[in-house]
Amino acid sequence: MKGTTDPDPMKDITLSRILGFFGAIFAVVVTVAVVAVVNINRAGASRDWVNQTYATISAFEDILATARAGDTDTRMFALSGDDRDLTAAREAFGAMDEHLQIAEALTRHTPAVQAAVSEVAVLARQRVTLAEAVWQARRENQPERLRQLLADDAGSAAISTIKRRLEKLRDDQFALLREREQVAYRQAQTTRWVVGTGVAGNLVLFCAVGWLIRDDLRTRRRAALALEEANARLEEKVRIRTADLTEANRRLSAENLERKWAAQSQDHQLRYNQAIVKSVNDLVFVLTRTLTITRLNPAVLRATGREETDLLSQPLARVVSLPGTPDPALSALTRALAEGRDLPDVQVVIAGRPARLNLFPLRDRDKVVGGIAIAQLEPLPGPTHS
């Protein structure tokens, strides 16, 4: 479970780095896009401004052209009296008035220029007033007045003043255009630089991401190979261990079988031995080191006439006594056991009958843990033949 829940730290670091790089790439793209959009908008505004400036210059030129045309057509009408000349003069001055209005509108947010245009407008409208006076004089056939009007105007520098001022205004507009062009050039350079830097930066970032992915893949391949080798080693170990366990199991099974057989054999032997012990006429006592009876054979019961339960856990002295000695504790037997030596052929009395007792120490390894006493009752005296 731990392996499935723990995140792969290598994977997390790589993913974080790749996400970081892509974040940086995105940021660069957004920055470049924003700068580009801002510059496009600026370029649009700049184009509008340039268009307006050219429209203003065009209006100035149109004012001058129509003023001149109106002036010329008025003089022509004064000379010819032809209505077509009058119409042409009216149209020219009408157009001039339109151009003046447009020029005033175009310059309404630059007060200095608008003031200059207004001055030109005043001069131009004076020309219209003069022309209207000429038209009237010509239509009413007043040659003297007509001559006077034209003579007064001959020395006037009105048209050249209008021309000079309009040319000055036009040159100022061209100067503004030149300045704006320089600004536009610098903006274009900035845009180029930003876009170029952004592209180069993104290229570097893409290379870094590529390198990171390549490095990560290589590390993963190495890790996979190491894991594969470790798995192979583990599988080999498991195989060997399984073989060992199988062998051990087989051995244990055989040992168990042998033990079982041995136990069965011992059990049989024990039962044979017990049968032998039970079947002999000798009295057999199994004793502790303190001569307490722990086992006995049926011959004892027959000889003593007692029950087994009466004798077990009882001292041997209860059944056996030494004749002619004041040693109810049978200390000679106790001593022999303590010294770990056999005590053969001891004259004893059992149930009032003389008997011969042999004592053999029982050993557990080197230590005497008890003893076996085997007694043979003396034969009863037979009937005497006299």
Partner 1 sequence: MRAAAKLPARLRHLAVLAGAFALPGVLAAKLSPTTRFTLQELEREPGLNPKEFADLFANFRFEGSPVIRPPEQFLGERRGDCDDYTVLADLVLAKRGYQTRCIQVKFAGDNVGHAVCYVTENKAYLDYNNRRYFVNLERSGQTIRQIAKKIAASFELDWTTAAEFTYSYETMRKKLAFVVVKTDPPDRDPDRGRYEGHN
Name the site residues for partner 1 (rule: CB under 8 A): 45, 47-49, 51-52, 54-55, 58, 62, 87, 90-91, 94-95, 97-98, 101-102, 104-106, 108-109
Query: Shortest approach of partner 1 to residue 121 CB, angstroms?
Result: 13
Q: Confirm if 35 and 194 have CB atoms less than 8 A apart.
A: yes
Toward partner 1, which CB reaches closer, 86 or 355? 86
DSSP 326: -
Toward partner 1, which CB reaches closer, 66 or 334? 66
Toward partner 1, which CB reaches closer, 57 or 300? 57
Query: Shortest approach of partner 1 to residue 108 CB, angstroms?
Result: 7
DSSP 317: G
Query: Shortest approach of partner 1 to residue 62 CB, angstroms?
Result: 8
Beta pairing class for 283-288 and 353-364: unpaired
- As a whole number of angstroms, the distance between CA 95 and CA 114 comes to 19
Q: What is the distance, to the nearest Å, from the Cα of residue 171 to the centroid of all Cα atoms in its chain?
A: 67
Q: Confirm if 79 and 73 have CB atoms less than 8 A apart.
A: no
- As a whole number of angstroms, the distance between CA 31 and CA 272 comes to 107
Place of tokens 């022309």: 131
Toward partner 1, which CB reaches closer, 51 or 274? 51
What is the residue type of 303?
A
Toward partner 1, which CB reaches closer, 70 or 371? 70
* Beta strand extents in the chain (DSSP E only): 283-288, 293-296, 320-321, 343-350, 353-364, 367-377
Query: Shortest approach of partner 1 to residue 87 CB, angstroms?
Result: 7
Query: Shortest approach of partner 1 to residue 12 CB, angstroms?
Result: 54
Toward partner 1, which CB reaches closer, 56 or 304? 56
The H-assigned helical ranges of 140-157 are: 143-154
Query: Shortest approach of partner 1 to residue 11 CB, angstroms?
Result: 55
